[in-house]
A and B are shown apart, each in its own frame.
Chain A
């Protein structure tokens, strides 16, 4: 008996486990490898840009940093504006679906919002030019007339409405479904226990959400926002089609002079680029990479600083 038992608990190697865990490890490493490959590709292609001849840069810029500076600014500006608009609305929608709408309705409503995710970015571009920009232009005129003293709303107003603010609206609509979908799943997972605890203390529905749902979902909300931000930072075609770009750092939201975004600038200039011009464009891509890296580091830092208070366990 003893010897039999000894063999029965001693490991025969378990190939399934080995294969599976190595597969997951390989998949994980593959992602790192792809990313490293993209990074190396960008880095190698970028190097000539840093030492490029001043004449290679169009306009008044004479070196890479003065060229890329306004682009970085524009990219972040547009993405942040989009995020500021999209995140509260997305949280609102997710809450509406998870905690306010009648349950039967909620499913269908979720599907409706997912529909937005199905709209290709070209269509967002077409819609932005053809529908949104003409629609908001009169409002811009009013804003500039009334609030022109406030720097971001200073004139002269754009005649077409194709400003960075419109771009931010388009981006916000684009990233809305991603953030909404993830927030929704997370809000639905809030432990009933904690929701009931809040209600039993005499909290109204909103107070219950503030006490139990939002804090519990915070890390998830940040993750979702990061996904959305990533998309907003990297969106190419819609921005290229909608924005009326220029080459400076411009804070005004409603004029036809707007800082361009990196991705859109690449799309606009790549087809005609040659020689070092291509390297310069790819170097701006590298900068976007670095920006994303930094933004994500900040987000991680925020999540980690609240780890002890996270809903886990």
Chain B
């Protein structure tokens, strides 16, 4: 193809060559394609393929040795960590490295309503089916100025299993623990309208009437997004607010020191933080069985976690960059990867 012509002479010299295969979260695809483009431009001898086959599928393929790294919307489970990693040197493990933060927006499409304030309890009631009309007292109380129709609420959730749902239900389960008693899971636990993928949810909300749904904020497009109550204030999602809550979250306990899985602070009351976020991870070996591949992966993830990589992802995929502190932590872990 025209764009794959031989590299020009003045291209930055790079000694890296080879093919790197990764797989995982489809939501990460846009960011990955941007990173891949950036990395391949700098290293013309390298081809990277990222397959948006789903977080679970990606982790499974990586664990079985089918790919060199995985992209995942959630960190590895303890069972996964306990097992063998076929790509890694026998006996060594893999680590979760955050690569970006993606706020989850609550999107809605209701005639005559442009702005919507909502708290976790009400949101939980809407999505569990306890609140069924837009002019329900609970919503009206939060939005005294809005003209809410007396129409049925059509709440759209993901029909496919996804990390977005897991983070959304995790948020509701923690922030509205009295209302939302289901545990966090990839599968949405209540009935309602389901749609496949982020774009499916966005399309359903766009094309339907009196709709509400949740989706990765980067895909919200022209749709109105709701503000979440944090403490006493209503917070709209912003990259900064998302990064803020991540910065305030501890690492998951009982893990290896170099595993940067984050235990997100959903219950925050700091109005500078937007707690409905998702952190995406790259999963890589500590020590690769094939050292050459290890070198490639290391270089690639280093690029991802660099300031340049983070900017690229922000521009191309609309995700929130890691804080400088997290970037540094990731770089430190990567330095030990072989």
Give the interface of A toward B (CB within 8 A): 58-59, 129-130, 133-134, 137, 156, 158-162, 240-241, 243-246, 256-257, 260, 267-274
Within B173-200, which residues are at the interface with A (CB < 8 Å)? 185-187, 189, 191-197, 200
A274 touches B152 (CB 8 A): no
Name B193's contact: one of A158, A241, A268, A273 (CB within 8 Å). Answer: A158
B152 touches A256 (CB 8 A): no
For B, the interface residue count at a CB cutoff of 8 angstroms equals: 34
A271 touches B194 (CB 8 A): no
- Tell me, in angstroms, the Cα distance from A142 to B161 when the chains sit together: 33
B207 touches A160 (CB 8 A): yes
Task: Give the distance to chain B from A119, nearest Cβ to Cβ, in Å.
Answer: 18
B193 touches A244 (CB 8 A): yes
Contacts of B209 in A (CB 8 A): 137, 159
* B329 contacts the other chain (CB 8 A): no
Contacts of A156 in B (CB 8 A): 152
Q: Could you count the A-B residue pairs with CB atoms below 8 Å apart for me: how many are there? A: 94
Chain B minimum-CB-distance residue to A158: B193
A271 touches B193 (CB 8 A): no
A268 touches B159 (CB 8 A): yes
A133 touches B207 (CB 8 A): yes
- Tell me, in angstroms, the Cα distance from A257 to B210 when the chains sit together: 17
A271 touches B53 (CB 8 A): yes
25 contacts between A and B (CB under 8 A): A59-B189, A129-B195, A129-B203, A129-B207, A130-B207, A158-B193, A159-B208, A160-B154, A160-B156, A160-B204, A243-B194, A244-B159, A244-B193, A244-B204, A256-B192, A267-B160, A268-B159, A271-B55, A271-B56, A271-B57, A271-B160, A272-B57, A273-B57, A273-B161, A274-B60
Query: With contacts A269-B160, A272-B54 known, is A257 near B208, CB below 8 A?
Result: no
* B266 contacts the other chain (CB 8 A): no
* B59 contacts the other chain (CB 8 A): yes
- Tell me, in angstroms, the Cα distance from A134 to B206 when the chains sit together: 10
- Tell me, in angstroms, the Cα distance from A241 to B159 when the chains sit together: 9
Closest 6 CB pairs of A and B: A271-B54, A159-B154, A272-B161, A272-B56, A160-B208, A256-B193
- Tell me, in angstroms, the Cα distance from A96 to B161 when the chains sit together: 45
Chain B minimum-CB-distance residue to A271: B54
1/0 per residue B33-77: CB within 8 Å of A? 000000000000000000001111101100000000000000000
1/0 per residue B153-166: CB within 8 Å of A? 01010011110000
A272 touches B160 (CB 8 A): yes
